[in-house]
Amino acid sequence: MSTQVQPDLKAEAVRLLNELSAKGLQVRLLGGVGIRLALAEKYPPELFRDHDDIDLITTRSDGRGVELALAELGWQPDREFNVLNGSRRLLFYDPDTGHKIDGFVDRFEMCHKLPFTDRFDCCSQTLSPADLLLSKLQVIELNAKDRGDCFALLLGFPIATSTEIDTIDAGWIATLSSSDWGLHHTLGLNFQRLRDGVGERGFSADENRRIEESISTLERAIDEVPKSRKWKMRDRVGERKRWYEEPEEIE
pLDDT digits (tens, 9 = 90+) for 29-66: 999 999 999 999 999 998 998 899 999 999 999 999 99
Say how many residues make up the chain.
251
Separation in Å, CA 106 to CA 39, 54, 126, 130: 25, 17, 15, 18
Q: What is the pLDDT of residue 200?
A: 84
CA 194 to CA 196: how far, in whole Å? 5
170-193 tens-digit pLDDT:
999 999 999 999 999 999 999 999
Domain boundary assignment for the chain: 1-106, 108-251
CA 155 to CA 88: how far, in whole Å? 32
Q: Could you tell me the fold of the domain covering 1-106?
A: Beta Polymerase; domain 2 (3.30.460)
**Of 11, 12, 9, whose CA–CA distance to 49 is shortest?**
9
Q: What is the pLDDT of residue 201?
A: 86
194-238 tens-digit pLDDT:
999 998 888 999 999 999 999 999 999 999 999 999 999 999 999
90-131 tens-digit pLDDT:
999 999 999 999 999 999 999 999 999 999 998 989 999 999
Does the pLDDT of residue 67 top 70, yes or no?
Answer: yes
Q: What is the pLDDT of residue 161?
A: 75
CA 131 to CA 110: how far, in whole Å? 14
Report the predicted TM-score, pTM, of the whole model to 2 decimal places. 0.95
